[in-house]
Amino acid sequence: MTKAKTEPKQKSRQKPTKANLSKEAKTPANADLAKEQLIEFYRGMIRIRRFEERSLRAYQQGRVAGFLHLYIGQEAIAIGAASLMEENDHMITAYRDHGHALAVGMSMDECMAELFGKSGGCSKGKGGSMHYFAPDKNYWGGHGIVAGQTPLGAGLAYGLKYQNKKGCALCFLGDGAINQGAFHESLNLASLWDLPVIYIIENNGYSMGTSQKRSSMHPELGLAARAEAYNMNWATINGESIFDIREGLKPAMDLAREKSKPSLLEIHTYRYQGHSIADANHKKYRTKEEIEDYRKNHDPINLYREYLLKDKIVTEEESKEIDLAAKAEAEASANFADESPFPPEEDILKDVYWEEDNPDQKLSEGRIFFND
């Protein structure tokens, strides 16, 4: 048998055991966390949830045009991942991108205004829900084409390697993206060229209305085991525990930063809402009991709040204050978005091509727009 090129595989389990946060808090990636950081994780997760709830309301009030994909239920993943990022680490994801944006430090104001299509938005109101970007925070979107972000994730990692920078690229995708050709091409090149990219499948069980089991051949070890075909490190992680997420991600990020090796991780999670807010039938392709079970037994925020209270890291009152502040911040962001102006018509062709906006630095030849 040929010796495997990659590091030993991390322990994998297809069906994660129920989270035990007090225990998981003592694992190597989490044991040294200060009380303030632990509270910050709670604040981060609850801010995402309240932002998403407020954006849902804004959609129902007719303030938001186009699609709206909510991250409610998956919050621990973005917060856990962002909490491990260092200066040269990058993040990119698909269209369910609000949680990641808030996790890397984008403000609710710029995110809400983007939903409203206003010029105060992070993409000046021209991107909408699926196209949040913050290059200053190494956050590269926000992509609507399923798996379209996966070659870009490889590219971010290639850039790091090319520039001799010690960092990694976190590239998120849904379980529905794993059968796309672009994803497999990305895995192949990432492994062949030893790129410091970590592909993170947020397996929420459904791609639109199709259950994951009906859309993907499901080997016993789960989706991440497909990495075997590319001789790549892989692991399966329980997304209901922010500590498990950190504990699973940290070795992969270290492997990328230290040895420039890619990984494929599968995080089990769940979304409460439909695929998008236009998915009115989301209770038809799954049972009420299934949704209720997650809410009662697996919700990452509830479990984390219980842990904070039980281990006396916050009091009941403090946890409520954090929640109320997040609600107020989300409400204020909707006011900000309402008051922000729409982008002016003459800006329609701006921010499309960088060279068009910076003609003095143009290097390529030929026309960028056909009507010049």
Ligand X SMILES: Cc1ncc(C[n+]2csc(CCOP(=O)(O)OP(=O)(O)O)c2C)c(N)n1
Nearer to ligand X, 202 or 247 (CB): 202
Binding at 146: pick from ligand X, Mg ion, none (beta carbon under 5-8 Å per type): ligand X
Give residue number: closest CB to Mg ion: 174
**Judged by CB under 6 A, which stretch of 128-136, 175-183, 184-192, 224-232 contacts ligand X?**
175-183
Q: Whose Cβ is closer to ligand X: residue 175's or residue 240's?
A: 175
CB nearer to Mg ion: give 120 or 239. Answer: 239
Residue 177 touching ligand X (CB under 6 A): yes
299 phi-psi bin (left φ>0, alpha ψ -120 to 50, beta other): beta
For residues 76 and 92, give the distance between their C-alpha atoms in angstroms, rounded to a whole number.
16
Asked if 76 and 103 touch (Cβ cutoff 8 Å), the reply is no
Return the number of other C-beta atoms located less than 10 Å from residue 10's C-beta.
18
Q: Considering beta carbons, is residue 129 or 204 the nearer one to Mg ion?
A: 204
Query: With CB under 6 A as the contact rule, which of the stretches 43-51, 201-209, 250-258, 329-337 interacts with ligand X?
Result: 201-209
Pairing mode, strands 233-238 and 169-174: unpaired
Pairing type for strands 210-211 and 206-207 reads antiparallel
For residue 198, the cross-strand partners are 170, 263
- Report if residue 204 touches ligand X, rule: CB under 6 A: yes
Place of tokens 């966390």: 33
Report the C-alpha gap between 245 and 15 in whole angstroms.
15
Evaluate whether 203 touches 175 at the Cβ level (below 8 Å).
yes
Q: Which residues pair with 102 in a beta bridge?
A: none
Tokens of 4: 């495997």
The single residue among 246, 275, 282, 298 that binds ligand X, judged by CB under 6 A, is 275
In angstroms, give the least distance from the CB of 237 to Mg ion.
15
Nearer to ligand X, 94 or 113 (CB): 94
Q: How far apart (Å, rounded) are the C-alpha atoms in residues 85 and 161?
A: 17
Q: Rule CB under 6 A: is residue 77 a binding residue for ligand X?
A: no
Binders of Mg ion among residues 145 to 174 (CB under 5 A) are: 174
Among 145, 192, 278, 349, binds ligand X (CB under 6 A): 145
93: contact with ligand X by CB under 6 A: no
> Of the ranges 42-50, 130-138, 206-214, 233-241, which one interacts with ligand X (CB under 6 A)?
206-214
Residue 282 interacting entry, from ligand X, Mg ion, none, C-beta within 5 to 8 Å by type: none
Q: Are 169 and 120 in contact (CB under 8 A)?
A: no
123 binds, among ligand X, Mg ion, none (CB under 5 to 8 A by kind): none
Write the single-letter amino acid at 224.
Answer: A
| Closest listed residue to residue 230, CA positions, set 267, 178, 269 | 178
The entry of Mg ion, ligand X, none that residue 208 binds, CB within 5 to 8 Å by partner kind: ligand X
* Rounded-to-integer distance, Cα 309 and Cα 38, Å: 12
CB of 194 to ligand X, least distance (A): 26
Residues found near ligand X in the complex (CB under 6 A): 96, 144-146, 174-177, 204, 206-208, 275
Residues found near Mg ion in the complex (CB under 5 A): 174-175, 204, 207
